[in-house]
Amino acid sequence: MSKTIVVTGSSSGFGRLVSESLARKGDRVYATMRGVEGKNASVAETLKHWAAAEDLDLRVLEMDVTSTPSVDAAASQVLAESGAPDVVINNAGQMFVGITEAFTAEELMNQLNVNMVGIHRVKRAFLPAMRERGSGLFINLSSIAGRFGVPFYSIYHASKWAVEGYSLALRTELASSGIDVVVVEPGPFTTELFPGMQRPVDAGRRAGSYPEVVHETFAAMEGMFEGLFRDPSIPTDPDLLADRLVELVEMDAGSRPFRSVVGVDFGVQARNAAVEPFDHEVLEAAGFTSFATLKAN
């Protein structure tokens, strides 16, 4: 049975791949992105022509997750044309990487605005209609970076740890309304995320005062990731992540795991397995187990 699915950040990478995959399955897909008539105009036109040629129901729609008016306008169009979506995939994101002190407070807020607050905007725009229907699924793109911490990624870590906590609590809060919330935790993949990473402007020239070993370590870490992407034996093909997103969409309500790790996991899978019983114990101790169990429509 076909579904109505909204995907954010569909101009490239995971968003574009999963939008195309779901459309091929026969779903109605709203492939949203910013700059449909600007920076992403050629991408938008390519997707439109591809969908028309294949007779697929993929609709390109302007949505900037950092703008409440943009998100609300896109949601209004979706709701008017198709009603409440069955699935919303919050994929849009950026990666800010560098010496933490060199990032200004404004840059930190920009990182959180895209990766975390953007998810909240999209959720608020669609949730009332989904709750009224009594069913739906939000898939929030987190990262293995939301489960540990390493040097130079603290700004990015902050955003993805926030996604984890937000989603875990939201899942329990929405279960009685029939709405499921899950996160997907990709490892490093060959998408535009790494090439497009944001470095600190460092207006105060803070980074230059750090000892050389810090800069050497940062360069070595970048080299490590480049090596991962060059090694064909390491699972960095973004199709792996798109396939997992499709699997989650197709699963029956109540059967989906909260966390899905895909690709190189740096031990996150084991960490998740160890933490899951604790998450259940917290709900049980607070008497929330029944409340947090997804209500079937």
Q: Among 19, 159, 160, 166, which one carries the catalytic annotation?
A: 160
Which residue type sits at 1? M
User: Is 57 within a domain?
Assistant: yes
Q: What's the domain count of the chain?
A: 1
The whole-angstrom separation of Cα 292 and Cα 282 is 11
User: Is 291 within a domain?
Assistant: no
Q: Is 160 a catalytic residue?
A: yes
Per-residue pLDDT of the chain (297 residues), as tens digits, is 899 999 999 999 999 999 999 999 999 999 999 999 999 999 999 999 999 999 999 999 999 999 999 999 999 999 999 999 999 999 999 999 999 999 999 999 999 999 999 999 999 999 999 999 999 999 999 999 999 999 999 999 999 999 999 999 999 999 999 999 999 999 988 776 667 789 998 877 999 999 999 999 999 998 888 888 888 888 888 999 999 999 999 999 999 999 999 999 999 999 999 999 999 999 999 999 999 999 876
Q: Is 48 a catalytic residue?
A: no
Q: Among 10, 11, 154, 167, which one carries the catalytic annotation?
A: 11
Predicted confidence at residue 236, as pLDDT, reads 86
Predicted confidence at residue 122, as pLDDT, reads 98
Q: Is 11 a catalytic residue?
A: yes
User: Is 230 within a domain?
Assistant: yes
User: Is 53 within a domain?
Assistant: yes
User: Is 293 within a domain?
Assistant: no
User: Is 290 within a domain?
Assistant: no
User: Is 297 within a domain?
Assistant: no
Longest CA–CA span in the chain (Å) reads 59
CATH, residue 240: 3.40.50.720
Q: Please write the tens of the pLDDT for every residue from 25-79.
A: 999 999 999 999 999 999 999 999 999 999 999 999 999 999 999 999 999 999 9
Which residue type sits at 116? M
| CA-closest candidate to residue 8, choices 80, 85, 82 | 85
Parent domain of 238: 4-285
Q: Among 30, 156, 167, 260, which one carries the catalytic annotation?
A: 156
Predicted confidence at residue 193, as pLDDT, reads 65
Q: Among 142, 154, 167, 177, which one carries the catalytic annotation?
A: 142
